[in-house]
A and B are shown apart, each in its own frame.
Chain A
Amino acid sequence: MANYSAGDDKGYEEEIRLLLGYPLMKRCVKNGCVFFKGSIEIDNEDYKVSIEEHPEHGFVLELSPELKNLQQDFSDIMQQQKLTSVISYLDSLRTYIQSKIPAKNPVNHCDIYRQVLYEYSEFTKFYLNLKCCYLAYELNKINITTVDEQNREHSVEIHIDYANVHKIFCIAEYDLPLEKGYFKATSSLRETYDKFVGLVELLQPFFDLMGVFDSCCHILDPVPQKRMYNYRRILIGENLSLIVTVDPFNVTRIPEIKFLGPQRQVEALRTKMNNNLEKWDQTNDTFTEILLLLGMDHFPEKIVDLNEKEDILVGTGDCSICFSSRLNGKLPEVVCKNEFCENYYHVDCLYEWLMAVNARKFFTEVIGNCPNCEKSISCPIPSV
């Protein structure tokens, strides 16, 4: 047992060897017992170790919790060897842990970073019509803005997923009428971007049509008119609007049109539209065709009456329950059929009230009384 004291040559030598071999281990004396405490490094990982130099039992080892299962086995082996030097003890421990814990194969991010940087610089050289292009400082995303043939800007955010080395580039944020997860991850930045640009090109007729709506009509919803929305709610009368839903990839097809307003006006419009359905001409301009379908020359122009609206408690088209127009992004959609009432309600508001007064459910609807005129009213059951 090396029971050395300061000044002892052997003690010095061992202390220096400890410092060189295990710089994170420290010898200390506590209550007359000698301890070696600290950590040892094995394959770039640090393991906490505490060894007591016990006068009778030799070295007594204590390992950190994640290595507790190795502690007893190793101590048993060491019992037979009766080592006297703590250096040899630590050497054996290191060899033992190395043999038990497989070395992790560290991922070399440098190569991937280099590849990303290379792809990015090639990318910026290749495309000339990029309005702005920028790689995040953390190298985790690329933001690109491009301009299409009609001078419309399109932005896309491409995420770089280092956990998925073989398909590292993925389009994450965009303003296109596509469902989430439309784009698949790829290994090439150019390929990823080409897919995006290809779609933007394919959707040109859709952007054109929506642009005409937005410039010629009073749009109630959506606000603001992002490109991801393939519908427009257009004001066509004081208390009357329609929702036109377009197939983004096939704009010349007859769009879905839903009227919202007092029943008699809605029915008159619907009849007119049904009579005109046959005349739909796919080869003609879609906007003109929609007007022909509705039997209208033009849509009413934009009305700017925001200041006036502030003072009115319940404005035209506002919900008569919550007294507002937009609730959780939705506009009032249910209109009382009583022509002397014709009040508007949000589906959510009316449903909540009708359920509170025990109205009866009937398939996909709830039927009760209009909160305003008490005549019968039906409300679709809101989808959760």
Chain B
Amino acid sequence: MAGMSPSERRLQKELMSLIKEPPPGVSVDTNIAEQNLLHWVIHMEGAAGTLYEGERFQLQFKFSNKYPFDSPEVTFIGNNIPVHPHVYSNGHICLSILTDDWSPALSVQSVCLSIVSMLSSCKEKQRPPDNTFYVKTCNKNPKKTKWWYHDDSV
């Protein structure tokens, strides 16, 4: 790992750890990540016994070269965007650790686990109430959105 910046070194370490010991239901697309260490795609399965059991989702992580001081940009991509009160139909996720509550002690793995648990605790599949308006007006980058974290229970 000589010649890498601390940021690249950490991403490389996270990638290796995610490949070797992924959390249940999570797997990283190694081809994409190995091409560009700053762009990852992660496959995620809905946990058994939840509303999303049997569903498969894709999460996109984009890192800046200031990572981990700067939070990653995380969105759902692909055909299946989970129907969830905190997930907009364009894939944007309203989750405080992705913006205001980000900490450099968090990792890709801990973000994935947070998202899995966010999905798992859902009681009713529905889009956020302001979905139509938000999707029309929002910036492409969810980090540019000023989020109101209204509900901690889901």
Contacts and interface: CB of A to CB of B under 8 A. Distances in A.
A313 B109 contact: yes
Given A322-B6, A324-B6, A324-B10, A343 B105 contact: yes
A353 B6 contact: no
Contacts of B103: 371-372, 374
Contacts, number: 45
Given A313-B13, A313-B17, A323-B14, A372 B105 contact: yes
Given A311-B21, A353-B69, A321 B104 contact: yes
Contacts of A323: 9-10, 13-14, 107
Interface in A286-343: 310-313, 320-324, 327, 343
B14, B103, B107: residue with the most chain A Cβ atoms closer than 10 Å: B103
A96 to B, nearest CB: 61
A349 interface: yes
Contacts of B14: 313, 323
Contact of B6 (A312, A327, A371, A372): A327
A42 to B, nearest CB: 54
Contacts of B20: 311
Contact of A371 (B10, B104, B109): B104
Interface residues of B, number: 17
Given A321-B104, A371-B103, A371-B104, A352 B69 contact: yes
B68 interface: yes
A357 to B, nearest CB: 9
B8 to A, nearest CB: 11
Given A323-B14, A353-B69, A356-B69, A313 B107 contact: yes
Contact of B105 (A311, A321, A327): A321
A372 to B, nearest CB: 4
A370 B109 CA distance: 19
A322 B17 contact: no
B29 to A, nearest CB: 19
Interface string B1-33: 000001101100110110011000000000000
A336 to B, nearest CB: 10
A349 B107 contact: no
Interface string A173-193: 000000000000000000000
A340 to B, nearest CB: 14
Contacts of B13: 313, 323-324
A374 B7 CA distance: 22
Contacts of A353: 69, 104
Contacts of B6: 322, 324, 327, 349
Interface in A359-384: 370-372, 374
18 contacts: A311-B17, A311-B20, A313-B14, A313-B109, A320-B104, A321-B104, A322-B6, A322-B10, A322-B68, A323-B9, A323-B13, A343-B105, A349-B104, A352-B69, A353-B69, A371-B103, A371-B104, A374-B103
7 cross-chain pairs, A with B, having the tightest CB-CB distances, nearest first: A371-B105, A372-B105, A371-B103, A313-B17, A321-B104, A322-B6, A320-B105
Interface of A: 310-313, 320-324, 327, 343, 349, 352-353, 356, 370-372, 374
